[in-house]
Structure 1
Amino acid sequence: MSQSLPSENSINRLKMPAQAASPWRILQTAWIVVAVFMLSNAPTPLYIHWKKQFDFTSGTLTLIFACYILALVITLLVAGQLADRLGRKKIILPGLMASVLACVCFIDAGSVYALLVARFLTGVAVGITVTASMAAVVDAGGESRKRQAALVASIAMVTGAGLGPVMSGAVVRFLPHPVFIVFAIELLVQLSAIAIAIRLPAKVKRLNETPRPLRLPSIASKHIFHLVLGVLFFAPGLTSTSLMLSLGPVLLNHFSGAGSPVVAGVMACVMFMVAVGSQLLCRQLPTTRVFYFSGTALMITMLCLVLALHGGGEIALFLAALAAGAAQGLGQLGGLTLLSVNISADRRAEANALLNIGAYIPAGLLPVATGYLIDIKGFTMSFTLLAATLAAVGIVALSVVTARRKQQPD
């Protein structure tokens, strides 16, 4: 259920701390997002290492990834509401503590169960980041820089997601004791984010404020279409990149024996750099056109994936990864922009939570189903079914945005 906002001239109006917007403050706050997303994808080049060490199947590999998604979605159910009520700072700091604990668990991991715990804690940290931290970035921009801050928040997410695996891949390839070194570096990065989070402004409380009970996240009915449209494009794009992160190293090894952690890390990094580049190139475009480009990139991703399965090999797989980065980046940019422009600051984190819940649930379930299907039916059939499913979602999304454009031309 949605609740009406108090009037602007009410002395009890909920408001964020009044601070002058500045690019430096936006960038400082965005580093928190970069730091946590570096951790989220840093394990990617290490999956082959752990797969050999603990001798688990492709299904187990995707289950480890799904544990991260499960924690993320559970966190999203409450993190947005708590961030809007208690303030961003009080939610961000516990999230960063979860990321610190995740680093410690990765360093000491001696079994698959330890990896599950570490990924769960990472999911908690990311769930808080995509709600409270990204909303804090938009808050730092103020009303005058709302769109620019939303762009920075989106770019920070994909930048961190790209930096993590390339750093990890280089360490695995060139240094001894890679697990310890990778997560020791990540630990330092998380501590730097905590140093910034401590300096975030506290929420300005309203007088006689009565705490509301926690409930499922919600937005006003007039904004439901904005949310659904964002999910329709963000979800398949995110599922595509999730697939590349969880099973990309296995695919590389299957096609050509190029199971090098550096190759896997570079592929993941370039994928997210394309996501950043596509957002920068399209930042001035109307959201309808951004969604068109996202849907087109998704179709190219699925085509290249099918080509990879039927003789295209690692070259087609790299092209699929590049297109997947554009599909996610533009779908995310369009969704975040719609919500940041149309929804008020005191409900923005909750709206971000709903957007990410809608995107991360399929991003977790579909790769897991594909991983277990691989163990039963093999690569070709499993990935072909996944490609067909995501292509069908993309067609629906493009149809919806086309109908909307006819009703509301840019």
Structure 2
Amino acid sequence: MVSDRKSSEADAAARNPIAFHAVTLATFFGASAAPTPLYRIYQESFSVSPVMITVVFAVYAFALLTALLIAGSISDHLGRKPVIFTALMLEIAAMALFTVASGPGWLIAARIVQGLATGIAGASIGAALVDVDRARGQLVNSLAPLSGMAVGAIGTSALIQYGPFPLHLVYALLLIGFAIQAVAIWLTPETGGKRPGMLASLKPRIAVPPQVKRTLALVTPINIANWTLGGFYLSLVPSLVVSTTGSHAPLTGGAVVTALMISGAIAVYLRRAQAPRTNLRFGVSATTAGILTVVAGVHLANVPVLLAGTLLTGIGFGVNFMGSVGSIMPLAKADERAGLLSAFYIQSYLAFSLPAILAGFLAKSIGYALTTDIYGTAIVLVSLAGLLAVIRAGKPSAAVA
């Protein structure tokens, strides 16, 4: 049966490389969200604090950022297939580490390897998608990560609630899936080429062109608030749901996280043709309304209100990211975009990880509900301040996102 599945996936990869790369990219990000519903169980099983859980979460973001900055363009020199294969091998190693994990040290090691694998995969698969079809590839690059994370969160929650071996089963299944993809990648056409300069490409290029500095400064508060929101959801929300609503069903916390990602993906697709400034207005408004609803759901201990607020927040999350990128990238020349994107990634992933660790400290000392109040207030105020600056400054970019 496994051999038949391998053959079937290999045939599909050869026939439709865009579909194969889309599924592979989504699987990487689905695996990145798989630990989220398990964090509460890890906390109980390994007797660790919320602070340690957020450290486990944050090291993934640091490793992913490192991989993006150092190895982000390596597939331009070695070809797409061998680099994607290397990322798959690293991801298989990460799944194996998760499967045998017996304490927080194992989890940290697994998340570091997973972050490196996902960073390499994100850059190389993203490039392969654009190689095959520029327009469709860019759309898939926007939708696959959010869709994959949604499936990863809800799928893991279902396996925890209804399947055996809650700390191991999801990783064993993902390991098998990545092994199949590692075989199938060699049956896809090579979309990139090989060229010299690989060692030079390992040096991170971080630069903000002069003509982009003002616009980047304007969208920075919105972008930081947006990624802080994402980090909070993916690190602490399942524990928050249990603490404030009393619902211990893994699917409940998983559904809340999934709602953020799936609504973000749908919003990106529906608003992809809107101008950046319009998207930022819409996104900040949706995020503000959503966070206020989430805070109300926390204090009412009402899961449906939490879900409704998360759907609104997710819409803002996706649209704000698209509006931020769409505001700055068209202003850079072709040879300036890699350095600008590196700077943008640094800003984004630091906001994704560092505030999450602070949230862990706050949750330990003052509780999840009050931590949510503080974080929600900060995110709303920073987002609104950023939007006001964008509106006062005028249109940041005439280009479509």
Q: Please indicate the TM-score interval, normalised by the length of the shorter structure.
A: 0.7 to 0.9
Amino acid at match of 1:183: Y
Aligned equivalents of 1:263 and 1:238: distance in 2? 23
Match of 1:72 in 2: 64
Give the drift of 1:240.
1.5
Q: Deviations over 1:189-246 (max 9, x none)?
A: 3234434544352643568999467144335433445655665444422322321221
Aligned equivalents of 2:352 and 2:172: distance in 1? 28
Amino acid at match of 2:169: I
CA RMSD of aligned residues (A): 3.0
Q: Deviations over 1:72-109 (max 9, x none)?
A: 22223212243455554454332222211110011111
Aligned length: 384
Using a 3 Å threshold, how does the CA distance of structure 1 residues 403 and 246 change in structure 2: closer, same or farther?
Answer: same
Amino acid at match of 1:391: V
Q: Do the aligned partners of 1:304 and 1:319 also contact (CA within 8 Å) in 2?
A: yes
Aligned equivalents of 1:209 and 1:60: distance in 2? 37
Equivalent residue in structure 1 for 2:349, among 332, 355, 360: 360
> Is 1:329 equivalent to 2:318 in the alignment?
yes
Match of 1:296 in 2: 285
> Is 1:158 equivalent to 2:146 in the alignment?
yes
| Secondary structure of residue in 1 paired with 2:193 | coil
Aligned equivalents of 1:155 and 1:229: distance in 2? 25
> Is 1:43 equivalent to 2:7 in the alignment?
no
Using a 3 Å threshold, how does the CA distance of structure 1 residues 168 and 97 change in structure 2: closer, same or farther?
Answer: same
Aligned equivalents of 1:364 and 1:348: distance in 2? 24
| Secondary structure of residue in 1 paired with 2:74 | helix
Using the size of structure 1 for normalisation, the TM-score is: 0.83
Match of 2:91 in 1: 99
Using the size of structure 2 for normalisation, the TM-score is: 0.84
Alignment of 1:267-278 (within 5 A): 267-278=256-267
Q: Do the aligned partners of 1:102 and 1:119 also contact (CA within 8 Å) in 2?
A: yes
Match of 1:12 in 2: none
Q: Do the aligned partners of 1:230 and 1:332 also contact (CA within 8 Å) in 2?
A: no
Aligned equivalents of 2:76 and 2:338: distance in 1? 6
Amino acid at match of 1:377: I
Q: Deviations over 1:314-338 (max 9, x none)?
A: 3343233223322221123334445
Q: Do the aligned partners of 1:290 and 1:330 also contact (CA within 8 Å) in 2?
A: yes
Unaligned runs of 5+ in 1: 1-22
Give the drift of 1:131.
3.0
Amino acid at match of 1:150: Q
Alignment of 1:238-317 (within 5 A): 238-311=227-300, 313-317=302-306
Equivalent residue in structure 2 for 1:115, among 83, 107, 125: 107
| Secondary structure of residue in 2 paired with 1:131 | helix
Give the drift of 1:398.
0.9
Equivalent residue in structure 1 for 2:117, among 122, 125, 128: 125
| Secondary structure of residue in 2 paired with 1:201 | coil
Using a 3 Å threshold, how does the CA distance of structure 1 residues 212 and 98 change in structure 2: closer, same or farther?
Answer: closer
Give the drift of 1:249.
1.3
Give the drift of 1:283.
1.6
Using a 3 Å threshold, how does the CA distance of structure 1 residues 368 and 295 change in structure 2: closer, same or farther?
Answer: same
> Is 1:187 equivalent to 2:175 in the alignment?
yes
Aligned equivalents of 1:140 and 1:355: distance in 2? 26
Aligned equivalents of 1:90 and 1:382: distance in 2? 44
Deviates more, 1:100-109 or 1:120-129: 120-129
Q: Do the aligned partners of 2:239 and 2:253 also contact (CA within 8 Å) in 1?
A: no
Aligned equivalents of 2:202 and 2:259: distance in 1? 43
Match of 2:155 in 1: 167
Aligned equivalents of 1:393 and 1:97: distance in 2? 40
Aligned equivalents of 2:220 and 2:181: distance in 1? 29
Q: Do the aligned partners of 1:217 and 1:350 also contact (CA within 8 Å) in 2?
A: yes
Give the drift of 1:281.
1.4
Deviates more, 1:293-302 or 1:368-377: 293-302
Match of 1:20 in 2: none
Q: Do the aligned partners of 1:83 and 1:349 also contact (CA within 8 Å) in 2?
A: no
Higher RCO, 1 vs 2 (CA within 8 Å, ≥6 residues apart): 1
Match of 2:8 in 1: none
Match of 2:389 in 1: 400
Using a 3 Å threshold, how does the CA distance of structure 1 residues 276 and 356 change in structure 2: closer, same or farther?
Answer: same
| Secondary structure of residue in 2 paired with 1:178 | coil
Unaligned runs of 5+ in 2: 1-14
